[in-house]
Amino acid sequence: MIDLAQLRREPTVVKAALLRRGVPAETLDEIVALDVEHRQLLQEAESLRAEVKTLSRAVGEAKRAGDAARADEAAARSRAIGDAERDATARTETVAARLRELLLSLPNLPAPEAPDGLDETGNVELRQWWVGMDEGAPFPDYADYQRVPHWEVGAALGILDLEAGAKLAGSMFPLFRGDGSRLIRALSAFALDRHRDAYEEIRPPTFALTETMMSTGHLPKSMDDMYAIERDGLWAIPTAEVPLTSMRRGEILDASELPIRMTALTACFRREAGAAGRDTRGVLRVHEFDKVELFNYLLPEQADEAFADVLARAEGLLRALGLTYRVLDLCAGDLGTSSARTFDLEVYAPGVERWLEVSSVSWFRDFQARRANVRYRTESGETAFVHTVNGSALAWPRIWAALIETGRRADGSVELPEVLAPYLGGQRVITARA
């Protein structure tokens, strides 16, 4: 949630920033007007409440003095003013609800450094990397046997069974088998081990309360993309970012505790409601997948270092896996609701001849912490909201696809990166199941 006090102080600045994200100035004008009305109604209700208290005392004094007429007159006025106070309170609550609804619908202010643009066409490629690039090797010239889509490779090797997944849960719920399943498990263990030097491993619940989902900005904005368990008032998490953001919800942290760094491996669930007909083959777009997440609670001045650290860890994993990738700086209009700045990492998959997003590294300023009410105490004793930074390191279905396509050999088998061998009992090659 944006800082309402900043909107009061700098309406022009906030309007200009959100206009870069396509938010019309009229929406902010309505918020400003509602804020003014809300504060006026609060004052009115409080003034009437105080008057009722004064009259109540007057009734008591009149009764003690035996002045029944004065007591009745004061009681009548108290009832009338009490009715006015209740009306003012009801109007206050109505205006407050509308004000909160609009504030929850607003995205974060984009960082000034984020490129201009209203959609993905405005994103800026910062760099690419591939094996041997540092020694002057050109972009990889993939062989024909690597240009086979992963769903065909997976079916031929018996490691991906999309039909069985659809039979069990419907389309876009993949089922990995044998070495395909072991590869997912190996990738998760590999990533968690790489982060244990600085990040506490957490195993959070896979389901979250509405309040928890609200804290990250996934609700109400992305409600249609979430899986709801209405009977129990729970939501299946779309990312470990959701529970990690709320780990310290409602708390005031000591500044000396920060940064707090956490990592988590979870299943992630997304309905992909707006993706009908797009990328539905193979595992390019699925409803359930495993992902390792990195998350930081921070002081504002620690944000740049944390952002760089998460990005470096995600890139380091891709380099260790030998995958060709690029880094994109997302434009203001393509940022997620809660993000002020995001870099996306995309791997190149030769079988589908496409760049595939596998990680988003984001800085949220205090947007999420304001929703979750996570604060820290400054040296002066005052409280302020923490900043948050998070990123995927990494999400596995598209990594799986890129590894299967890139590592395919002329005989149809798949060679896996050396760094995964310790997690696969020394195995380096996937061959067809007997």
Secondary structure in 3-state letters for 235-302: EECCCCHHHHHCCCCCCEEEHHHCCEEEEEEEEEECCCCCCCCCCCCCCCCCCEEEEEEEEEEECHHH
Q: Please give the Cα distance from 367 to 371 (Å, whole number).
A: 7
Q: How many domains does the chain have?
A: 2
Catalytic choice (182, 248, 341, 398)? 398
> Among 271, 357, 409, 413, which one carries the catalytic annotation?
357
Statement to judge: residues 288 and 237 lie in one domain = yes
Q: Is 181 a catalytic site residue?
A: no
In-domain check, residue 143: yes
Residue 6 confidence (pLDDT) above 70: yes
Residue 117 backbone class (left: φ over 0; alpha: ψ -120 to 50; beta: rest): left
pLDDT for 278 equals 62
pLDDT digits (tens, 9 = 90+) for 68-99: 888 888 889 899 999 999 999 999 999 999 99
The single residue listed with the structure tokens 């994993």 is: 317
Mean pLDDT score across all residues of the chain: 95
Q: Is 235 within a domain?
A: yes
Asked if residue 340 is part of any domain, the answer here is yes
Tell me: pLDDT of 374 over 60.
yes
Residue finishing a domain among 56, 75, 105:
105
Helix axis angle, 68-105 to 25-64, nearest 10°:
160
The question of whether 360 is a catalytic residue gets the answer yes
Does the active-site annotation cover 177?
Answer: no
Does the pLDDT at position 274 exceed 60? no
Catalytic (active site) residue 285: yes
Identify the three-state secondary structure at position 383: strand
Query: Which of 80, 105, 130 is where one domain is finished?
Result: 105
The rounded percent of the chain whose pLDDT value lies above 90 is: 89
Contacts (Cβ under 8 Å, ≥6 apart) of 132? none
Residues 190 and 271 in one domain: yes
Residue 228 and residue 316 in one domain: yes
What is the distance between the alpha carbons of residues 208 and 202, in angstroms, rounded to a whole number?
A: 15
User: Which residue range forms the structural domain that includes residue 73?
Assistant: 4-105
Residue 355 lies in a domain: yes
Q: What is the pLDDT of residue 329?
A: 98
- Helix H segments across 138-217? 150-157, 162-169, 178-195, 210-216
d(CA 232, CA 386): 31
Task: Select which of 78, 215, 246, 360 is catalytic.
Answer: 360
Q: Quick one: pLDDT band at residue 276, thresholds 50, 70, 90?
A: low
Catalytic annotation, pick one of 20, 182, 248, 270: 270
If asked whether residues 72 and 130 sit together in one domain, one would say no
**Predicted confidence (pLDDT) per residue in 324-369, tens digit:** 999 999 999 999 999 999 999 999 999 999 999 999 999 999 999 9
* Residue tagged active-site, from 285, 326, 354, 377: 285
194 shares its domain with 97: no
**98 in helix, strand or coil?**
helix
* Residue 38 clears pLDDT 80, i.e. is over it: yes
Rg of the chain on CA atoms, in Å: 28
Which of 102-106, 272-276, 304-308 comes out lowest in average pLDDT?
272-276
Rounded CA gap, 27 and 344, in Å? 29
pLDDT of residue 279: 72
Spell 301-338 as b/e; 16+ CB within 10 A means b: ebbeebbebbbebbbebbeebbbbbbbbbbbbbbbbbb
Q: Are residues 79 and 165 in the same domain?
A: no
For the chain, the straight-line distance linking the first and the last C-alpha, in angstroms and rounded, comes to 55
Q: How high is the pLDDT of residue 221?
A: 84
Same domain, 344 and 412: yes
Averaged pLDDT, 180-184: 98
The helix (H) or strand (E) run that includes residue 147 is: none
Domain boundary among 41, 72, 105: 105
Is 409 a catalytic site residue? Answer: no
Whether the model pTM is above 0.85: yes
Decide: helix, strand or coil at residue 164. Answer: helix
> Residue 236, exposed/middle/buried by CB under 10 A (0-12, 13-18, 19+)?
buried
